[in-house]
Chain A
Amino acid sequence: MTLGAIVALLAATVVAGTAILFAAVGELLAERSGIMNLGVEGMMLVGAVMGFIFTVLTGNHWYGLMAAMAGGGMMAAIHAFLTITLRANQVVCGLALTIFGTGVSGFLGKSYQGTPITDPFRAVSIPVLADIPVLGPIFFKQDVLVYISIIIAALLWLLLFRSRWGLSIRAVGQNPAAADAVGISVSRVRYFCTIMGGVLAGMGGAYLSLAYAPSWQENMTSGRGWIAVALVIFALWNPIRAILGSYLFGGVEALTFRMQTAGVDISTFYLAMMPYLLTIFVLVLVTIRRRSEAGAPAALTVPYHREER
């Protein structure tokens, strides 16, 4: 393999990891506040279809992105209402969200299958930085959403670990009763984090339909939402580690794709299993090494209501 090929592979790695990064960072925020949302896959699909439809209709990918964020956010709002206000089981509700999102996106996108878009997100070279050898083409000749995803992950780290807000969010996820006692509104924080998580998942979906593919196909996320959920555990609820994790998965996807096109003599079906097997492997490894869910917010999946304090 030449250096050029390796650089191209790593650049493809970043692209393949970006959708997962958006979604993982969103889920991480929600989980930090104590809400587990297994509907990431559904929220991404709704984001992908909304982003695509609005880009086709308006001809402007920024409107598409906004529609995707709204779609993901609305999906997450259903989860928030059911699990926070009505104290529904978070696991089952998340599954419902995924099934519902698959259905809604398939329905809305039916007539858009195979439609081309004139205005996808295209790679933008950042002056000077793009000319750095090796690093330039990998990180600085990408589309805007790649930059945005990294900035969001970094900002989220600052928010969570270096701000009063972040302290409140972590307190709510760790010990809601104590947070309540010092005057933090537990449900308001949880609503905010869950809905923002959905907005980010929607952006992840839009990345697939507006930059990565760029097209709409039913079920186009093909498990990336679930990989994002697993990644949050791998990242130990830390956004910076989520960046690394996303690119690890992106790398496997990019490599698989290249091996298929290069005609490597491994059945494509076994190559197709790789991201899922890697998810299993990584999850098992992290869990065993850290002795169960160390680092998980203590109140994750536990509804909070004052009367039963």
Chain B
Amino acid sequence: MMRYKLIKRETDSLASRIIVPVLSVLMALLFGWIFLWLYGINPAETYLRMWQGAFGNSYAVSETLVKAIPLMLLGLGLSLAFRMKIWNIGAEGQLYMGAFAASGIALFYGHLPALILLPVMAAAAFIVGGFWGLIPGSLRAYWGVNETIITLMLNYVAISFVDSFIFGPWKDPASLGFPLSPRFSPQAYLPTIGDSRVHIGLLVALLLAVLFYFLLNYTRWGYEVKVVGESPASARYAGINVKRNIMLVMLISGGIAGLAGMIEVSGITHRLQQGISPGYGFTAIIVAWLARLHPFAIILVAILFGALLVGGFGLQIFGLPFSIVLMLQGAVLFFLLGGEIFTKYRLQRVRKEGQ
């Protein structure tokens, strides 16, 4: 009788590192195709509409980029934590806290010139977002408290906290009862590229990716992060301060998420309001994982997922639910996780008697 056995690979092959993610996206699309078809919705038409919504014309492309920017930033921040096997799933809340801080500055110091105002908003967002990440980071570092649950719970707390301001003291008297802050002064707007809605947050994200690549591959600290992720015990043995690194990584990861929040309010909404993020913090988890935590791959995958979001919003015009997008996102991750075994192992046929 023939059986298959998994044999561990010595090194994971480069081909599989690219083929598996690409295949998992294709498989997820195929799964979505079958699901829609079973449900009596024309899959070809649905996918075509999503494609047109995301890339159909120059406006669509710019919208895709606009949605990709926060995913790039969050994906980069998360990748750092994930490298150390610190499961930060609180990027959503950290983003909201950053948006809150930046909005506070914009609302109260809006008269300052843009050259001062924007950096201060960014710094405030980074600090407050970072603080929001540092809470679970220090709990994990000092007492071993499960950071997955704490970061997730803090998402709900952050969103309620922001709501308390936009429904309360920061509510625009001219908003006709809608939960919106007043519009920022124009100095608090991020400059856009050309006459599109794409703002310089894109450049920030690209620079950050280069910086990450350099830090991770060419500095001692980048090496430490890798070692801690692979084996905290040997990291400690090698004299690496694991606690400090956990806190630092959560601070940076949260700070970048906060920065993404600032970029959203300053570049897109120009005010603090509900639903600044349609779940960017969760989508970014998939982005980081699909990109195998590689900074440049994160940029590309973020564009793909930005397109998926924009395409999904486009579907709503045709009466199709946005939840299709979440389904596809989950499915991509399933196929990726399932396929990963082939990067680490290879199948070998063995004879059962021969064992």
* One of A16-24, A120-128, A272-280 at the interface: A272-280
Majority secondary structure of chain B interface residues (helix, strand, loop or mixed): helix
* One of A85-93, A206-214, A238-246 at the interface: A85-93
Q: Measured between alpha carbons, how far is A89 from B8 in the docked complex, in Å?
A: 16
Q: Measured between alpha carbons, how far is A95 from B322 in the docked complex, in Å?
A: 19
**Beta-carbon contact of B321 and A226 below 8 Å:** no
In the complex, A29 has a CB within 8 A of chain B: no
**Beta-carbon contact of B149 and A82 below 8 Å:** no
Q: Measured between alpha carbons, how far is A205 from B266 in the docked complex, in Å?
A: 39
Question: Separation in Å of the B243 CB from the closest CB of chain A?
Answer: 14
Q: Given A284-B145, A287-B143, are A269 and B340 also a contact pair (CB < 8 Å)?
A: no
The chain A residue with its CB closest to the CB of B152 is A226
In the complex, A251 has a CB within 8 A of chain B: no
**Beta-carbon contact of B160 and A107 below 8 Å:** no
Q: Measured between alpha carbons, how far is A5 from B160 in the docked complex, in Å?
A: 28
Interface 1/0s, chain A 65-107, versus B by CB < 8 A? 0000000000000100110001111011101111111111111
Q: Given A82-B334, A99-B282, A277-B157, are A287 and B326 also a contact pair (CB < 8 Å)?
A: no
In the complex, A292 has a CB within 8 A of chain B: yes
**Beta-carbon contact of B330 and A101 below 8 Å:** yes
The chain A residue with its CB closest to the CB of B322 is A106
In the complex, B337 has a CB within 8 A of chain A: yes
**Beta-carbon contact of B330 and A96 below 8 Å:** yes
Question: Separation in Å of the B82 CB from the closest CB of chain A?
Answer: 9
A-B contacts, CB under 8 A, total: 143
Q: Measured between alpha carbons, how far is A89 from B160 in the docked complex, in Å?
A: 31
Q: Given A100-B326, A107-B327, A280-B153, are A269 and B164 also a contact pair (CB < 8 Å)?
A: yes
In the complex, A233 has a CB within 8 A of chain B: yes
**Beta-carbon contact of B150 and A280 below 8 Å:** yes
Q: Measured between alpha carbons, how far is A132 from B149 in the docked complex, in Å?
A: 39
Question: Separation in Å of the B236 CB from the closest CB of chain A?
Answer: 15
Q: Measured between alpha carbons, how far is A42 from B334 in the docked complex, in Å?
A: 14
Q: Measured between alpha carbons, how far is A242 from B316 in the docked complex, in Å?
A: 41
- Which residue numbers of B lie inside 8 Å of A, CB to CB? 5-6, 8, 39, 87, 89, 139, 143-146, 148-150, 152-154, 156-157, 160-161, 163-164, 167-168, 282, 285-286, 289, 321-331, 333-334, 337-338, 340-341
The 3 nearest A-B residue pairs measured at CB? A100-B330, A103-B326, A106-B323
18 A-B pairs besides A81-B338, A269-B164, A307-B5 with CB distance below 8 A are A38-B148, A86-B341, A88-B340, A92-B333, A95-B333, A99-B282, A99-B326, A103-B323, A105-B323, A226-B152, A230-B146, A269-B167, A270-B164, A280-B153, A283-B145, A283-B146, A283-B150, A293-B144
